[in-house]
């Protein structure tokens, strides 16, 4: 019986790989690399033999941290697994242009999918700004561009759906260095009562288009509930550099549901304060904070 099951399984695998080989010759199981993802938009160009599509879990680009996935398809609908992609988001605000913190676009292991994250500093329409995307691809020895594609970056809201929610902050260090940083809240993506993993990216702003990821900083955390006497919670763990996941990571404990203000103090590698202040009886908030509501 066991042997029979095993053979059936083997036949299924053999059949499945034949099927996918009809589409292309990558050897990946790419029958549906975007299973569970929602399409945000397609990027096409009359001259381009390829369609590049943008996906993520929600179907939206959002202010602050946004994870995204790309696929590349040829005109026959085959997924391309060996593309090299780069995408440059730029916000045109009339008087000025700027980009935003972002990762490289890298292949997802074992899938005909590519991944990246953005931390959008502004949402579409904020300051009358419009976000554009310039995509470059190299596939084999073919290089091409899809330029000036408008993308829609949504604002982040509190649970009423209309009040802005703070998820990203630009700052100038108060240590006299005049260095500029961007701090972006990543997790908790689905906050719950109890201990939640919390993570954040820190980027140094070199210029309006260049943001370098910073390692080995510390974010001291003090979550507070302003509507209830500004109480805090127990057993929170400051965010420190997690080398394996390349992000600053800690623990936030929500003792109840509702609106929480996550106050932070940003420290550099030497433990010197770059931004933020302790919360006290008379000072209800840090100058560096994010908002979570659930």
Tell me if 122 contacts Cu ion by CB under 5 A: yes
**Applying CB under 5 A, which of residues 129, 223, 250, 276 lies at the interface with Cu ion?**
129
Q: Count residues near Cu ion (CB under 5 A).
A: 4
Q: How far apart are CA 170 and CA 203, in angstroms?
A: 9
61 vs 91, beta carbon nearer Cu ion: 91
Listed ranges 119-127, 182-190, 206-214, 250-258: which one lies at the site for Cu ion (CB under 5 A): 119-127
Phi, psi at residue 198, to the nearest 5°? -125, 140
Q: How far apart are the first and last CA of the chain?
A: 50
Supply the minimum distance, in Å, between the C-beta of residue 167 and Cu ion.
15
For residue 119, give the nearest of 183, 181, 179, 197 by alpha carbon: 183
Output DSSP code: residue 100: -
Q: Strands, E, within 48-179: which ranges?
A: 50-56, 61-62, 64-74, 83-92, 97-98, 106-107, 114-120, 130-139, 142-151, 153-154, 168-172
Listed ranges 71-79, 122-130, 255-263, 285-293: which one lies at the site for Cu ion (CB under 5 A): 122-130
Tell me if 93 contacts Cu ion by CB under 5 A: yes
Tell me if 188 contacts Cu ion by CB under 5 A: no
Strands 50-56 and 64-74, sheet pairing? antiparallel
Q: How far apart are CA 134 and CA 145, in angstroms?
A: 7
Supply the minimum distance, in Å, between the C-beta of residue 119 and Cu ion.
13
Supply the minimum distance, in Å, between the C-beta of residue 165 and Cu ion.
18
20 vs 126, beta carbon nearer Cu ion: 126
Supply the minimum distance, in Å, between the C-beta of residue 288 and Cu ion.
20
Each residue 45-84 as x (binds Cu ion by CB under 5 A) or -, in order, gives ----------------------------------------
Supply the minimum distance, in Å, between the C-beta of residue 130 and Cu ion.
9
- Residues present in the chain in total: 294
Q: Which residues bind to Cu ion, rule: CB under 5 A? A: 91, 93, 122, 129
């Amino acid at each position: 019986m066991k042997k029979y099951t095993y053979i059936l399984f083997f036949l299924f695998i053999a059949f499945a790989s034949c099927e996918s080989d009809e589409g292309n010759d990558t050897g990946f199981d790419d029958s549906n690399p975007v299973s569970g993802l929602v399409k945000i938009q397609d990027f096409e160009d009359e001259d381009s033999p390829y369609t590049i599509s943008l996906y993520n879990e929600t179907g939206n680009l959002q202010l602050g941290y946004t994870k995204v996935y790309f696929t590349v398809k040829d005109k026959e609908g085959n997924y391309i697994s060996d593309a090299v992609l780069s995408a440059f988001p730029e916000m045109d605000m009339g008087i000025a242009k700027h980009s935003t913190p972002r990762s490289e676009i890298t292949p997802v292991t074992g899938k005909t999918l590519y991944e990246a994250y953005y931390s959008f500093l502004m949402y579409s329409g904020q300051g009358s700004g419009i976000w554009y995307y310039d995509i470059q691809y190299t596939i084999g020895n073919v290089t091409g561009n899809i330029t000036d594609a408008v993308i829609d970056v949504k604002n982040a809201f509190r649970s009423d759906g209309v009040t802005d929610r703070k998820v990203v902050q630009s700052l100038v260090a108060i240590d006299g260095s005049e260095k500029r940083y961007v701090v972006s809240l990543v997790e908790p993506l689905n906050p719950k009562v109890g201990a939640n993993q919390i993570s954040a990216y820190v980027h140094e702003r070199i210029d309006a288009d260049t943001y370098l990821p910073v390692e080995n900083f510390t974010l001291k955390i003090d979550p507070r509930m302003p509507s209830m006497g500004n109480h805090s919670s127990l057993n929170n763990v400051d965010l420190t550099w997690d080398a394996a996941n390349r992000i600053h990571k800690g623990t936030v404990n929500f003792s109840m549901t509702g609106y929480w203000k996550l106050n932070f103090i940003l420290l550099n590698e030497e433990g010197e304060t770059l931004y933020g202040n302790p919360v006290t009886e008379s000072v209800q908030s840090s100058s560096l904070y994010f908002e979570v509501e659930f």
